[in-house]
Amino acid sequence: MSSRPIPTQREIILPADSFIVSKTDPRGRITYANRVFMSISGYLEPELLGQPQSIVRHPDMPRGVFKLLWDTIRSGEECFAYIKNQCKSGDYYWVLANVTADRGPNAEITGYYSVRRKPTAGAVQFVSGLYREMCAIEATATANQAPSASLDHLNRIIADRGMTYETFILSL
Locate the domains of the chain by residue range.
20-171
What global pTM score does this model have? 0.95
H helices of the chain, in order, are: 35-41, 45-48, 63-74, 121-140, 146-160, 165-171
The gap from C-alpha 138 to its chain's centroid, in whole angstroms, comes to 17
Rounded to an integer, the average pLDDT of 24-35 is: 97
- pLDDT of 90: 98
Rounded to an integer, the average pLDDT of 142-167 is: 97
Task: Decide: 165 and 158 in contact? Cβ < 8 Å.
Answer: yes
- pLDDT of 3: 80
Report the alpha-carbon distance of residue 129 to residue 121 in Å, rounded. Answer: 13
Q: Which of 101, 92, 93, 97 is nearest to 117 (CA)?
A: 97
How do residues 30-89 score in pLDDT, each as one tens digit? 999 999 999 999 999 999 999 999 999 999 999 999 999 999 999 999 999 999 999 999
Residue 1 has pLDDT above 80, yes or no: no
3-state secondary structure of 116: strand
Q: Give the pLDDT band (50/70/90) at residue 2.
A: low
What is the DSSP track for 20-47? EEEEE-TTSBEEEE-HHHHHHH---HHH
Residue 57 DSSP symbol:
B
Rounded to an integer, the average pLDDT of 115-130 is: 98
Report the alpha-carbon distance of residue 56 to residue 170 in Å, rounded. Answer: 23
Q: Give the pLDDT band (50/70/90) at residue 102.
A: very high
3-state secondary structure of 83: strand
- pLDDT of 62: 98
CATH entry 3.40.50.300 includes domain 20-171: no
Q: Which of 82, 81, 85 is nearest to 73 (CA)?
A: 81
Rounded to an integer, the average pLDDT of 149-155 is: 98
How many beta carbons lie within 10 A of that of residue 103, not counting itself?
12
